[in-house]
Amino acid sequence: MARNMSETLPILVVPHPILRARAKPVTAADDAAVRELAQKMLATMYKAPGIGLAAPQVGVGLRLIVVDVAPKEAPAPMVMVNPEIVAQSSELATREEGCLSLPGQYAEVTRPARVLVRYQALDGSRQQIEAEGLLSACLQHEIDHLNGVLFVDHLSPLRRNMILRRLAKEQRAKAREATAP
Catalytically annotated residue among 130, 142, 170, 177:
142
| Residue 109 lies near Ni ion (rule: CB under 5 A) | no
| Residue 99 lies near Ni ion (rule: CB under 5 A) | yes
For the chain, what's the residue count? Answer: 181
Taking the least distance from each CB to Ni ion, the nearer of 31 and 134 is: 134
Closest distance to Ni ion from the beta carbon of 120 (Å): 21
The Cα–Cα gap between 159 and 161 comes to 6
- Which residues neighbour 149 within 8 Å (Cβ) at sequence distance 6 or greater? none
The Cα–Cα gap between 62 and 70 comes to 25
The Cα–Cα gap between 142 and 23 comes to 12
| Residue 65 lies near Ni ion (rule: CB under 5 A) | no
- Please identify, among the stretches 7-15, 58-66, 95-103, 170-178, the one whose residues bind Ni ion according to the rule CB under 5 A: 95-103
Taking the least distance from each CB to Ni ion, the nearer of 126 and 166 is: 166
Fill in the amino acid letter for 65: I
Cβ(82)–Cβ(59) under 8 Å? no
The Cα–Cα gap between 172 and 151 comes to 22
Taking the least distance from each CB to Ni ion, the nearer of 41 and 99 is: 99
Clarify whether 132 is annotated catalytic. Answer: no
Taking the least distance from each CB to Ni ion, the nearer of 57 and 120 is: 57
Closest distance to Ni ion from the beta carbon of 87 (Å): 23
Query: Which are the catalytic amino acids?
Result: 142
Q: Which parts of this chain interact with Ni ion (CB under 5 A)?
A: 99
